[in-house]
Each structure stands twice: as C-alpha cells, then as structure tokens.
Amino acid sequence: MKKVILNSYFIDALLLLLSIILIIFSSDFPFYWDNTVQISFPANWYYSTNFQYFYLPDDIATGHPTFVGMYFAFLWKVFGRTLLVTHFAMLPFVFGLLFQIHQLLINLKINDFITKLLIIGFIIIDPTFLSQLSLITFDIIQLFFLFLCVNSILKDNFKTLSISFLLLVLISLRGTISAGGVIIFHFLYLFFIQKKLNLKLFLCYLPGIISIFVFLLLFKINKGWVVHNTVSNSWEDSGKFASFSDVLRNTGVFIWRLIDFGRVFIFMFFTFFTFKLIQKRNFPDTKLNILTLLIISQIAVFFPIIVIYQNPFGHRYLLPIIIPTIILTVFWVKNYIPNYKIWLPVIFICLFSGHFWLYPKKISQGWDASTIHWNYFGVTEKMDNYIQAKKNIKRKEIGTFFPLYQSKYYSYLDPIDNSYKEANMNTDKYILYSNSFNVEDGVIDTLYNHKNWSVVKEFKKNSIFIRLYKRNSLDINTK
C-alpha cells in the first residue's frame, strides 16, 4: 500500500515538473487561432475599461461567458499585461488537468505503476492535447473542471461536484455542452454500475443549471441575442442550421477529427472494443464499463450539436471524447490483447507521428490541434525582424491571412499595434504567406504563379515556411 502511495506521489511530482517546463517553454507563445477572439479580446476589453462594464460590445462578443477573460484581465492588473503572466496563469489548470487525469486512473483502481505511466504518456503525447497544453485556451480549463466533475462522481463527493459543475458551465459554451455530458454520465453510472438511482443526488447540479440559465437570460435581455451572434457580420453563419448534405459532411469531419494526427490506431482498437462490447453486452472489468459510459455521454452531447450547425468545429472540441478513449484503449490493449508489447509501440509510434502530419497545401488543417504549429511562431518572428530591418517596406503595405493579420496588441500583447493588413490579392504590393494558413485554392494558385509574384524572402523550420511575396508588375526595390 505504501508503495502504491509513493508511486502516486512520484507521478504527481513528475506531472508538476512537466507542467512547469511546458509553461516556461511556451511562455512567449502568443494568443493563437480562435483564442485571440475568444479570450484576448474580452480580457483586453475588461483590462482597458477597468471592469466598468460586464457585457462586451457586439463586435467582439462571441456568446461565450467571459469569466475567463476577466480572470486574465485581473491578473494583468496585478502582475502586468504580458504573455509570461498569461501563460503562468494557465499553470494551475495545466497541472490541475494532468493531476485530475491521474486521479481518474486511481479512482478507476488502475494501480499498476507501469500501466498508469503508459496511459498518461499516451495522453500527453497526443498532438492535439499537447498543443492545447501549450496554448492560452478555454479548453484546458474546461477539461480540468470536466475531469474534476467525473472524479467527484466516482468518489461520491457531491460538494466538490456541485462547485466544479458550476464553474464548468461558466467557462465557455463548450463547457456547458460538456457539463450536459456530466449529468448523462452520472445517470448512466448510477444505473449501470452502482445499480441504484437516487434522483436527489442530482440536486447538486441545480446551482450550475440555474447560473447558466440566468446568465443566458440576462445576456438575451441585454444584447438581444444569445449563444450565436446575430448582430456582428463576423459570425453571421455560425447560428445557421446545416442542410442534410452538410450534416453528412459534418459527420465525416467529426470522425476525421477523432482519428486525425495519429489517432488512427487508437480509434481502430476502440472500434474493435466497441464491437466486442456489443457482443458481450457487458465487460467484467468495471474500469472499461465506466470509461465506455464516459465516452458515450460526451459523444451524446457533442455530436448532435456539432453536426446540425454550419459553424466549423475544431479538433479541440472533441478532447472530452479523445482523452477517455485513449485511457480505455491503452488499458484494454495492455490487459486484454495478446501481443500487446507489439501493438502498444505501434499505436504509440502512430500517435507520435501525428506531430509531423502536414497535409497538402490545398487541404485545410487544424493548426492549433498539432504541435507542428510551434514552428510557425519561430519563422514568423524571423520574418518580422527581417521586415523591420527593411526601411523601404512598410508593414501596413503587406497583406496577409488569418491568423497573422490579427492585431499584435491582442495576440502578442504588444503595447504598440504594429500589425499587418488583411490581404487583398488585387491591390497589395506585398503578400505574406505561410503554408500554415488555411487559404482558398485560388490564393495559392496565384502566389505560385511566378509570372505575377516573386519570393522576396523565405524562412523555414521543420516543413513550416513563411514567404514574403512581391507583385512582379510593380517596380519595388527590396534590397
């Protein structure tokens, strides 16, 4: 028993050290992808207005609760508005999430030291999960409270469950969706695992349900819309329902997001496990049954909501499904599959390879869902320095694409907004293009046509490049 406890302390210490190293490593990473709009805009608005107002202006409101933005704005007021402060503000949630995943293994009574290290190692090496751990994002905070809820259910700790559920629903709209899955999981767990159903236990969810209902009601009264921004043109399609063909397409994308970036073998074995479960109807191993219910409950809330809207969705949305699936698959292969010493390395190598997956230039990729985007920060910095040294090239004359045209005041927290402009292929003298941008095929065809555009400068790192193009029809001296 003492050995088990010591092993658990060792793993927790290792996870804390890993969390600190990861935060230090990524401490100069900017707000990236949608996190600029969803977190940095609200945080900077609260910071600049000194918390005088609660509701964001319509042009920057996304419909998400904005308490995370308030959290960062408050810390900026105390410690300074810097990326270093912002990343260290993520440390409690980065370590907290890893700690809760370890606690889940303990609560499932997975006590074998090697098995726990294997499972945690597979989870951390997942490209989407590791990528999110390095970023300033809703999703790590959301996942922390999600797994805290699950562990509270397994430990019958209903006070902690009530508090963590309340915070989960107020993190973001995805947190609210995931919280619905928590209630479903609790019901299924009581019915199928504990074989008893006490509806009084569900009273612990009332504070969270009432809070999100009141928030949305007051938001509707104040703004005139709720969840989907129907006022700003930036999100005009986000609330539109998908056609039947779009639903089929979204279903395919949903499956693709799950198996993307090296998770092919993870979900191949999970599919095989599912067929075995259907045949047997029940596994004698309670651990597998609990994990199956957890996965089903999150699929039950995310899948129908995701596929019925036109709004695009990212890989990170599915982490509440991906993480328990990795736990189940690794545990099942380790304990129930012959020749697991062959299969586990194969699964690991495939998963690890996801860090290097790069799609052809005309296929959109989830850049914030893989660590390959880390290279983008380095090459962009080199290009910034190059352009700054060129006296005859003005930054405002350079067009570029999402996410590089986002204001550096919000993405890098620079005090001076020295940003590029959004590209206009018809009029811009210069274009900054990276293969880490998801642009239209026509843009790529135009830039790769050397009759019209020439490469002035290129920086490249691990297959990720950024190029400064100039229009050949203009006589511009860039020397």
If DSSP codes are grouped into helix, strand and coil, which group holds residue 454? Answer: strand
Strands 430-434 and 453-461: unpaired
pLDDT on residue 239: 63
pLDDT on residue 395: 84
**Cα(23)–Cα(464) distance, rounded to whole angstroms?**
23
Which tokens sit at 179? 């919280």
Q: To which residue do tokens 């029809």 refer? A: 473
Q: Is the pLDDT of residue 475 over 60?
A: no
| Mean pLDDT value of segment 152-162 | 97
pLDDT tens digits for range 73-93: 999 999 999 999 999 999 999
pLDDT on residue 1: 62
Reported confidence tier of residue 230, pLDDT bands at 50, 70, 90: low
The edge-to-edge listing of strands for the beta sheet with 464-471 is 421-422, 398-400, 430-434, 464-471, 453-461
Quick one: which of 477, 397, 467 has its CA closest to 430?
397
pLDDT on residue 476: 45
**Cα(35)–Cα(146) distance, rounded to whole angstroms?**
20
pLDDT on residue 478: 42
Supply the Cα-derived Rg of the chain in whole angstroms: 24
pLDDT on residue 281: 74
pLDDT on residue 184: 98
| Mean pLDDT value of segment 178-184 | 98
443: burial class by Cβ within 10 Å (0-12, 13-18, 19+)?
middle
Listed in sequence order, the residues at least 6 apart from 173 whose beta carbon sits closer than 8 Å to its beta carbon are 63, 64, 65, 227
Q: Is the pLDDT of residue 137 over 90?
A: yes
pLDDT tens digits for range 260-311: 999 999 999 999 999 888 887 767 789 999 999 999 999 999 999 999 988 7
Quick one: which of 188, 446, 128, 70 has its CA closest to 316?
128
**Cα(246)–Cα(63) distance, rounded to whole angstroms?**
23
pLDDT tens digits for range 330-387: 999 999 999 999 999 999 999 999 999 999 999 999 999 999 999 999 999 999 999 9
